Amino acid sequence: MAAFQGRSCECTYSLIHYSPGLDVDAIFLQIINGLDKGAAYALIALGLTLVFGTLGVVNFAHGALFMLGAFTTVSTQALLTMSMKIRDTSITFFEAYKEVPYLQVWWGDTGKAIIDYAVPISLLLVIPVMLLIGLLMERGLIRHFYKRIPADQILMTFGLAIVLQEIIKANFGANPIPVPAPEIVAGSAQIGSWLGMSDAIVYPWWRLIYFLFSLLVIGAVFAFLQLTTFGMVVRAGMHNREMVGLLGINIERKFTIVFGLGAVVAGLAGAMYTPILPPDYNMGMNFLVLSFVVVVVGGMGSLGGAVIAGFLLGILQSFASMNQVNSIIPGIDQIIIYLVAILIILVRPRGLMGREGVMED
Amino acid sequence: MENGSATKDFITLLVFAVAILTMPIWMAPIGANYPDLLQRFAIYGIFAIGFNLLFGLTGYLSFGHAAFLGVGSYTAVWSFKLLSMNILPALLFSVLFTGLLAAVIGFVSLRRSGIYFAILTLAIAQMSYNLAYSVLTPITNGETGLQLRNYDVRIIDNLFGKVATEGIPSTNLFGITMSGYSGFYFSAVVLILCFWISLRIFRSPFGITLRGIKSNQKRMGYTGFNTRPYLLAVFIISGMYAGLAGGLLAVTDPLAGAERMEWTASGEVVLMTILGGLGTLSGPMIGAVVIKYFENIFSSIGDQRLLEIFSWAPDGLQHALAYVVSPFVGNGWQLTLGLLFVVIIIFLPGGLVSGFKRIFTKLKPIAKGVAKKEGADTGEAGT
């Protein structure tokens, strides 16, 4: 059911009803159309791969982290718009009250602007909250599962995902909660006319921002791993954990922090995605399955592969949902990603960029 | 359990059969003795026993088993629509068709093992779920679900002149209507049959080979076993079990929807198997009963009912208790389920069955000690 909500939401958010022939404009439109979804896949898959590459744990609760990030934003919004009842002076013939957020009462227009920017502001909260959740999860539960078989890890994290999901459902209800983007970026960008293409190509600002934001986060993660000493140790640990341990480095502690980092990345991805898809408790599960597919296509344990595969599959999905393609092979948009994944696993099990022998038994 | 003799197996089967058939009696005190729920116990028991044959014996974790359940249901309903309201052809077609499907899916996905196998089966199941909702709507009737209609052809029924005059006829076994307790007893008999087959597989050389694959597939290869056909065979059998369960679901309630194929449904059967005891004979059945019981009983407890339950407590405490417990029942029963799941995997990886065994082995010496002491006492008295 929830998968459906996702789909129908995309419809309401779909760009324009623009169906030209199969020309450059149409192809370009499909590419940018797939970018924001691809960005979400890439970010979740990046975190999954980080955790898998370092700790060797297949984390089925990673989608739940994405969802928790989104709900941190929802909570921030709720916090900022806490309201008091104020006498409505515009109505004079009886006593009428209206709800006015405290921030607006205290600071007037500044308060209003703060509320408007709830989503970007929430990021300040998302980072520490998700870091904390990630660290707690790793220290509290996942740590005890390193020596168990992968099936146990999968099942434990799956159970954990159910628990997290149900906690959110109990507190926020089962319905999607709309979270608006700041008003200044509510409209669409005239990407077509910027690039000298058809004026009909427009792209919602927030999706563009999401795409750029994801590039920023991905860049930051890679910079962190490539340029800092900490990152160097982590990369060495991914290659040969025992050796790094023998050198007197507490690799376990570093990996715990990496898990926290993965949680933050997933949380940021979820928080920024709220204006695109109103979050509900089930959103994590829907993204999780696809993200696993992304990880497998990119190659288990390969960070670059996860990112590239995320964007590729996002774009591929948007191409498959074109009318021209759908009329040739009906229903292809529903299954294309899985089809690609099946092909990849069968033909090239290490994925696009994976190392040979990872998890191949 | 592992190397039981023929008599021991027969006793196991007998105990199981009696336990299942008397469920309406001994389930009464916990309020689960209505046929609708009992049917579901039996049906999901079949599903879990079949899943256990694959996951428990070979260690291959399939995350797409619900697809077979859904396909089985669709096949059965189509058989009701096209052929006859008799349930035998419906079940036969469900089993055969899912077996065929399992052969194809197994052929593809068993090329990989471990996490790749899990993701392959998950991908295939998600694909069929999405297709059932979109392109295959003429066959599956999409979101509404496949239902019986007045104008269904029912060729065989018409041949024998059993034309329904008004309304939709109910599913039957040569005239015995399959609803209520007759539906339960039929499912129970099928379940006992399935349990017996699973018992035979556990004891057979085939089953031992499968266990060998679980413990070390490479070594099995070195000893000259081509493991692939064995895996494919058990995958097909397991798929047929799921198809049979799906068919029975349609028998007791002739309506098939795609939500039966969603991957959370696949997760549920994994849960049942793990909760009861992976790789044990009776574990999956216990897991299925526990989970379906929770689902039905816990999810129906509302706030008012909670207050009634805690009515023995003083007033303030009563409300406090109800407040604490309320997130875990009613709509939140899945939270309980998830917690239970995590706790079981952490503390009791062998499931409930291993828990019982542990308690039993701990109690044994105590019981023996008591017996000895008693014996000594009587001995003294004798002299």
Domains of chain B: 2-270 (1.10.3470)
Q: Residues A53-81: pLDDT tens digits?
A: 888 888 888 889 999 999 999 998 888 88
Can you count the helices (H) and strands (E) in chain A?
16, 4
Q: Is A298 in contact with A45 (CB distance < 8 Å)?
A: yes
Instruction: Choose the closest CB to A345 out of B112, B342, B345.
Output: B112
Residue A149 with chain B: CB contacts under 8 Å: 59
Alpha helices (H) along A57-198: 62-80, 102-107, 109-116, 118-140, 150-172, 191-194
> What is the spatial distance between Cα A5 and Cα A283, in angstroms, rounded to a whole number?
9
Instruction: Choose the closest CB to A158 out of B114, B127, B267.
Output: B267
Structural tokens at position B375: 């014996």
> What is the spatial distance between Cα A144 and Cα A150, in angstroms, rounded to a whole number?
13
Q: How far is A318 from chain B (nearest CA, A)?
A: 16
Residue A156 with chain B: CB contacts under 8 Å: 342, 345-346
> What is the spatial distance between Cα A87 and Cα A73, in angstroms, rounded to a whole number?
30
Q: Name the nearest CA neighbour of B41 among B245, B300, B217.
A: B245
Q: Is A297 in contact with A310 (CB distance < 8 Å)?
A: no
Residue B214 with chain A: CB contacts under 8 Å: none
> What is the spatial distance between Cα B162 and Cα B148, in angstroms, rounded to a whole number?
16
Question: pTM of the full predicted structure?
Answer: 0.81
Burial A154-173 (b: 16+ CB within 10 A, else e): bbbbbbbbbbbbbbbbbebe
Structural tokens at position A95: 């006593």
DSSP string, B258-280: GGGGSHHHHHHHHHHHHHH-TT-
Please name every residue paired with B173 in a beta bridge, in sequence order, or none if there are none. B176
Q: Residues B169-206: pLDDT tens digits?
A: 777 777 777 777 888 888 999 999 999 999 999 989 99
Residue A161 with chain B: CB contacts under 8 Å: 338
> What is the spatial distance between Cα A62 and Cα A125, in angstroms, rounded to a whole number?
19
> What is the spatial distance between Cα A126 and Cα A42, in angstroms, rounded to a whole number?
19
Please name every residue paired with A97 in a beta bridge, in sequence order, or none if there are none. A87
Instruction: Choose the closest CB to A152 out of B131, B337, B345.
Output: B345
What is the rounded end-to-end Cα distance, in angstroms, of chain A? 36
The predicted complex's ipTM stands at 0.75
Q: How far is B107 from chain A (nearest CA, A)?
A: 11
Q: Report chain B's mean pLDDT, rounded to a whole number.
A: 82
Q: Is B256 in contact with B73 (CB distance < 8 Å)?
A: yes
Residue in chain A lying closest to B269 (CA): A155
Instruction: Kindly report the length of chain B.
Output: 383
Q: Is A263 in contact with A67 (CB distance < 8 Å)?
A: no
Q: Name the nearest CA neighbour of B73 among B114, B101, B53, B54.
A: B101
With CB atoms and an 8 Å threshold, state whether A156 touches B346: yes
Distances in whole angstroms, Cα of residue A173 to Cα of each of A9, A282, B332: 18, 11, 11
Per-residue tens of pLDDT for chain A, all 361 residues: 344 443 444 444 444 444 445 577 777 888 888 888 889 889 999 988 888 888 888 888 888 999 999 999 999 888 888 777 777 777 777 777 777 777 777 777 777 777 778 888 888 999 999 999 999 998 888 888 888 877 788 888 888 888 898 888 888 888 888 888 787 777 777 777 777 777 777 788 888 888 999 999 999 999 998 899 988 888 888 888 888 888 888 888 888 899 999 999 999 999 998 888 888 888 887 788 888 888 888 887 788 888 999 999 888 888 888 777 777 777 777 788 888 888 887 888 777 777 665 555 4
Can you count the helices (H) and strands (E) in chain B?
19, 4
A-interface mutation test, from B63, B108, B111, B115, most A Cβ less than 10 A away: B115
With CB atoms and an 8 Å threshold, state whether A148 touches B349: yes
With CB atoms and an 8 Å threshold, state whether A334 touches B143: no
DSSP string, A289-304: HHHHHHHHHH-TT-HH
Q: How far is A193 from chain B (nearest CA, A)?
A: 36
Look-up: residue for tokens 């049942």? B272
Q: Name the nearest CA neighbour of A112 among A99, A101, A97.
A: A101
Instruction: Choose the closest CB to A334 out of B131, B271, B334.
Output: B131
C-alpha Rg value of chain A to the nearest Å: 22
Structural tokens at position B217: 């597939």
With CB atoms and an 8 Å threshold, state whether A154 touches B115: yes
In Å, how far from its chain's centre is CA B40?
9
Residue B134 with chain A: CB contacts under 8 Å: 331, 334
Structural tokens at position B58: 């070979």
A-interface mutation test, from B345, B347, B354, most A Cβ less than 10 A away: B345
User: In percent, how much of chain B has pLDDT > 90?
Assistant: 21
